[in-house]
Chains A and B, each alone.
Chain A
Amino acid sequence: MSSNDIRMGDNIWQQTKWKLKAYNSGFTTVVVVQILFSLFFLSVLDGMTHLSTGNMYMNLQVSIFSIDGVLMFSLIACLIVSLIMASQGAWHENMSVVTTRITATLSTVVYFIILSAVATLTAVSSFYIAVWLAQQFHDTEWIASDYLLPLRTYVICFVLHLVATACGFLAGIALEKSKLLFTGGVLAGFFIVPYVLFWNLKGSEEISEAEPMNYYAVSSVLFMIAIVLYTLAIWIRSRQEVR
């Protein structure tokens, strides 16, 4: 049977399954990083953020445990994994199975989407395990709060992971093609990413009366950025198949 007879969707799925098996270490890397840094935030920093308030008579310190720390390092791990997946070595390994350029790139993108979804769930797991350990081993009293993560946190974690993998993938491809392209892309990223992330935050005076952030709007913008970056990556990697 010629490779031309195989449907593209089947080919992508078969290759994605192969990649999930071959590069399962990408998942373990991300989880190990999450475990290590959730422990780091628990033991060394004793919480992610510290608030201190009081009057002349009393001083109150609140250690806030939030998912930010774990998420930050999870994103870095995903970025590195995707950079490695975009390397020339990984590209050559794509040819281990019957494939085309477009199929190989698309299956890598599907792998990243699955990696982002799993990394989101394991980040949340790491966070809850860390908080539970803190509750068991820490004498400090806890302030009652809503312990359930809202859906928006899952959504924004997922799209942030998507953007991280897309950035890493595109950066890796750009680095293979041209160092100038890579440097230009990184510099552009430095200007664009903070603007996108903090686009609705204004000066501190305005923040106090600011409307609650529309997380879904931010997620949509981030999702669009991920799509654009993935499309760019696919476009750079592809060439016209001559039949």
Chain B
Amino acid sequence: MGDVVFTVLFLLGILVVIVAIIMAVTRRRLVTLWRPKYTYIGLGFYIVLGVMAMIFVQQQGGTEQVSDAELQQGLQAEMQMRDALFNASFSELNPQYLKKQWTFPVSGDTVTVNYTNQIVDRVYINHDAEEGNAITLSYYATPTILYRLNVSKFVELPTVSFTDDTLQVYFDMNHHRFQYNKMQPVLGFLEASAFYNTQIDDSVGTYALYLNVPQNVHIINEGGY
């Protein structure tokens, strides 16, 4: 923004120099040089400049905010996933939101889950896999919508490794920060109801890690903490 101030001050400086040159050439003071009609010509010019700026501003696109229907869909997906996890109805997890699946062969009969972060509160475990020696880790993520902006594309997959029957799940804990500008022409102090309404659908999106293991495989540190 410093550039903006610099540019405007530079233009104002040029204006002052031009006026100073005119004053020097005509040998008249500004008070006698300036006529009232110049003020109104200047005002007219400024308003025309504003209209031109309005046209330019209108041509500027921008990131679209999601519609009510999309927001509702995201909320429903979130609720459905939370219900399925809470009730341990893992078959009801919507495959539409499966982002990645890893399968690892197990050499022994015990697997240690090493998981330490707070993005997903726990790893949900189910002993429902087919008999054998393979475990399957699935990562689900419903659409992430913040301030009606779909930021799902920025959601990263966890880093997963499996060595010596130890499953390591690691999320990049660097907090993702997004910065947007928005033009809201209506008067803020009279638009309190609209402001509060935008706060209600503030944050939508849930993430889940689901580990499916055979009956014969024992899990250590099931909570994943």
Contact = CB atoms under 8 A, between A and B. Distances in A.
Interface string A199-243: 001001001101111010010000000000000000000000000
A58 interface: yes
A226 B198 CA distance: 33
A180 to B, nearest CB: 32
Contacts of B25: none
A141 interface: yes
B86 interface: no
Interface residues of B, number: 67
The winner among B56, B187, B199 for most chain A CB atoms within 10 A is B187
Interface stretch (A1-9, A49-57, A82-90, A98-106): A49-57
Nearest to A212: B193
7 contacts: A20-B40, A42-B5, A125-B51, A129-B49, A142-B63, A142-B180, A142-B182
Interface string A25-62: 10110010001000100110011110101111111111
Nearest to B1: A43
Contact of A145 (B7, B50, B183, B189): B183
B95 interface: no
Given A141-B180, A150-B186, A208-B200, A54 B155 contact: no
Contacts of A66: 183-188
Contacts of A153: 185-187
A108 interface: no
Interface in B155-193: 155, 171, 175-193
A134 B196 contact: no
Interface of A: 20-22, 24-25, 27-28, 31, 35, 39, 42-43, 46-49, 51, 53-68, 71, 118, 121-122, 124-129, 131-138, 140-150, 152-153, 156, 197, 201, 204, 207-208, 210-213, 215, 218
Interface stretch (B101-109, B142-150, B209-217): B142-150
A120 to B, nearest CB: 10
Given A143-B62, A147-B60, A121 B181 contact: no
Nearest to A20: B36
Nearest to A121: B47
Contacts of B60: 135, 142, 147
Given A58-B177, A65-B182, A137-B1, 18 more contacts: A28-B39, A39-B8, A47-B181, A61-B179, A65-B181, A118-B43, A122-B47, A129-B49, A131-B53, A134-B4, A140-B180, A143-B62, A147-B185, A150-B185, A152-B186, A204-B196, A208-B193, A212-B194
Contact of B149 (A55, A60, A65, A140): A60
